[in-house]
Amino acid sequence: MILKFLNEVLDGVSKPGRYVGGECNSVVKDVDNVRTRVCLLFPDTYEIGMSNFGLKVLYWVLNGIEGVWAERAYLPWIDMIKIMKKKKIPLFTLESKTLLKHMDIVGISMQYEMSYTNVLHTLNLSDIPLLAEHRSEDDPIVIAGGPCTSNPEVMAPVFDAMVIGDGEEAVVEIVNVLSAMRGRPRWERVETLSSIEGVYVPLLYGGARKRPYPLFSWVPKRVKRRIVKDLNQSAFPVKDVVPHIDVIHNRGIIEVMRGCSRGCRFCQAGMIYRPVRERYARTVVSIAKELLDTTGYEEIALLSLSTADHSNLAELLASMASIAREKSISLSIPSTRLDSFNDLMRNIASGTRKTGLTFAPEAATQRLRNVINKNITQEDLFRTLQDARKFGWERVKLYFMIGLPTETDRDISEISKVLREVKKMGFRKISVSVSPFIPKPHTPFQFAEQMDVEYIQHVETVLRPARSFASVKIHNPEMSVVEGVLSRGDRKLFKGVLSAFENGCIFDNWEGVFIPEKWWEAFERSNVSIQEYLRARKFEESLPWDHIDVGVTKEFLVLEYKKAIAGLTTPDCRRLCSACGVCTNDISNVVEKR
């Protein structure tokens, strides 16, 4: 049925390669030898989902289990959705063209809040009931993962279970439990998942606004984040699926370390992925060689929150640069820290193709950088960029934030002055991305107020001179407001998301598709007060995500917020423990000893 449908419609849709499957290294198994079928679903287009590293890992791990077959699905683009609905074709997997509603498990990656309506569209297109409580014995178990589960409450009514934290070990246990309980009542299977560390089952908790509470005495009051203790013992997808079409990041990705010890106070990833766990340089090099052999990629990206902080960076870069020269490939280090870019970069500056460099000073004044705990100086910024230019880089991208706590017009206007100095260095292209600050759960700034659209429009006026020195893009302020509401939302807010879905909101992270008026209408119909979700929070206030234990304590976050307002900084915790609460007897930073 599906193949016939594809033959009929592919000529009439954009990027038909999104829907055909059969890519190099995609996994096809004999269904007669499979006991558990899983669909890994990314609620955005193929070219975005194929670039997601987390799904690559889970695909590799699950397909490495005998009797388990993990397949993939993505949200079709709008033209294909219309055709599928008209012809009554439900969403299907790429590998076997099986309908998602016939899978045992559907795992959905929630990477960003603006994909929440997309999640509902994928389930609706799959003929799977949107709400967990409405699903029958024949429906798949629907499980969420990804960073958005650190505040699971907004989308809690949708999911049977949600994985908090690292997923590669948890999914193995989930599959084993559900395989062993095949034929048991749905409620019993779902309840049993709550016994797995890192798995949250929303139906076992009550509380629409405040901190959710367990409905039964045997249910844990707080759900602990799942943490992979050592990446060197963790599986890695060395046979990556090679896409048919250009995707966002069409390159090999190697996660060189997970977690960050810097402690930027706005950064959710830096808090919820603690502690630091490094892959040894020799392991990274071995992975790179195998990945290049199995994929033919022409670029390798060394992925982490702060790759240049790797404790054996010199050996790592020297070895990777040697591979890059030998294979004539590019080597990419995303989001390089300014204070870590130094003479070690000589190892990749000679004989390799250079992609652009990306740095994130975030703020243009030292005062505001102290507030956010971005421990770099203006001298670090200018010296680093001068070195980069000297080593031959011609393109640079800088990230700044606006609307940060204690920000003044002077902090904003200094961005233009910084860019004027950077332009003098002779870069061929300077790109600047300016993003409104959005308070995120489990960060010191979770208590802060988020600025509204009017404030961001004022900032745009102050920043006008910056456009004389660089290509400046300011993130959509209305989109930032919606994201901010969803980020710190509670279970009651789901009505607003459902209303937005019913109002036609889809691909809300896409400029040109996002329609803010539809969200305002949805919020109004659902009695959602935008200002209630943008407001500052009191330290003693119960928060909708307080039942999620990511390791970092609320007491630490309060202390860090107070230090921010006082302009005090906290050092890198690899040098001096900041007592955040993550490290225990069996969990701590894992760094390579030389």
User: What is the torsion angle, in degrees rounded to the nearest 10, for the CA atoms of residue 457, residue 460, residue 462 and residue 468?
Assistant: -160
Is there a contact between 272 and 442 (Cβ–Cβ < 8 Å)?
yes
> CA-CA distance, 536 to 530, in Å (whole number)?
12
What is the C-alpha to C-alpha distance for residues 302 and 385, in angstroms, rounded to an integer? 20
Does residue 180 sit in helix, strand or coil? Answer: helix
Here the tokens at position 443 are: 């960060």
Which tokens go with 250?
């069409």
Residues 279, 233: Cα–Cα separation, whole Å: 9
The residue behind tokens 């890695």 is 236
How close are the terminal C-alpha atoms of the chain, in Å? 58
* 32 in Cβ contact with 231 (< 8 Å): no
CB-side neighbour CA atoms (13 Å) of 146: 24
Helices (H), 242-304: 268-272, 281-295
Cα dihedral across residues 194, 200, 201, 204: positive or negative:
positive
SS3 215: coil
- Domain segments of the chain: what residues? 2-224, 251-488+537-565
- Residue with tokens 């193709």, as numbered in its chain: 353
107 φ, ψ to 5°?
-105, 125
234 three-class SS: coil
Q: Under a CB-based contact definition with an 8 Å cutoff, are residues 107 and 143 in contact?
A: yes
pTM for the whole structure: 0.95
Residue 452 C-beta-side C-alpha neighbours within 13 Å = 9
| 2: its two tokens | 């599906």
Q: How many CB atoms lie within 10 A of CB 393?
A: 18
Query: CA 438 to CA 449: how far, in whole Å?
Result: 9
- Confidence at residue 305, expressed as pLDDT on a 0 to 100 scale: 92
Lookup: tokens for 19: 């829907």
Write out pLDDT tens, residues 525-548. 999 999 999 999 999 999 999 999
Say if CB 243 and CB 23 are below 8 A apart: yes
- Measured between alpha carbons, how far is 355 from 343 in angstroms, rounded to an integer? 18
Amino acid occupying residue 495: K
Which amino acid belongs to residue 502? E
* SS3 at position 357: strand
CATH class, 2-224 region: alpha beta
Strand partners, 549: 224
- Rounded to whole angstroms, how far apart are CA atoms 356 and 299? 13
pLDDT tens sequence for the chain (594 residues): 899 999 999 999 999 999 999 999 999 999 999 999 999 999 999 999 999 999 999 999 999 999 999 999 999 999 999 999 999 999 999 999 999 999 999 999 999 999 999 999 999 999 999 999 999 999 999 999 999 999 999 999 999 999 999 999 999 999 999 999 999 999 999 999 999 999 999 999 998 667 899 999 999 999 999 999 999 999 999 999 999 999 998 999 999 999 999 999 999 999 999 999 999 999 999 999 999 999 999 999 999 998 888 999 889 988 998 999 999 998 887 766 776 666 456 556 555 556 667 889 999 999 999 999 999 999 999 998 998 888 888 899 999 999 999 999 999 999 999 999 999 999 999 999 999 999 999 999 999 999 999 999 999 999 999 999 999 999 999 999 999 999 999 999 999 999 999 999 999 999 999 999 999 999 999 999 999 999 999 999 999 999 999 999 999 999 999 999 999 999 999 888 999 999 987 888 888 865
- Going by their DSSP bridges, the two strands 429-436 and 471-474 should be labelled as parallel
CATH code for residues 251-488+537-565 = 3.80.30.20
What span, in angstroms and rounded, lies between the C-alpha atoms of 403 and 159?
Answer: 33
Alpha-carbon distance of 17 to 10, in angstroms, equals 9
Label residue 146 left, alpha or beta by phi (over 0 means left) and psi (-120 to 50 means alpha): left
Q: How far apart are CA 231 and CA 213, in angstroms?
A: 33
* Other CB atoms within 10 A of residue 495 CB: 17
The total of other beta-carbon atoms located within 10 Å of residue 187's CB is 11
Determine the pLDDT at residue 25. Answer: 97
Strands, E assignment, 28-104: 36-42, 68-74
- How many other β-carbons are positioned within 10 Å of the β-carbon of residue 142? 28
Distance between CA atoms of 552 and 561, rounded to whole angstroms? 14
- H/E element, 255: strand 252-255
Task: Single out the residue of 127, 136, 69 nearest to residue 96, CA to CA.
Answer: 69
Q: Report residue 538 as tokens.
A: 């009191």
Cis peptide before 275 (omega within 30 of 0): yes
The tokens describing 489, both together, are 């939302």
Cα gap 280→180, rounded to integer Å: 36
CA-CA-CA-CA dihedral for 438, 444, 446, 450, to nearest 10:
-40
Residue whose tokens read 């409405």: 134
The continuous run of DSSP H or E covering 299 comes out as strand 299-303
CB 471 within 8 A of CB 429: yes
CATH topology match: 2-224 vs 251-488+537-565: no
CA 138 to chain centre: 31
Kindly list the distances between the CA atom of residue 553 and the CA atoms of 225, 432, 583, 590, in Å, as whole numbers in the listed order. Answer: 12, 34, 11, 21
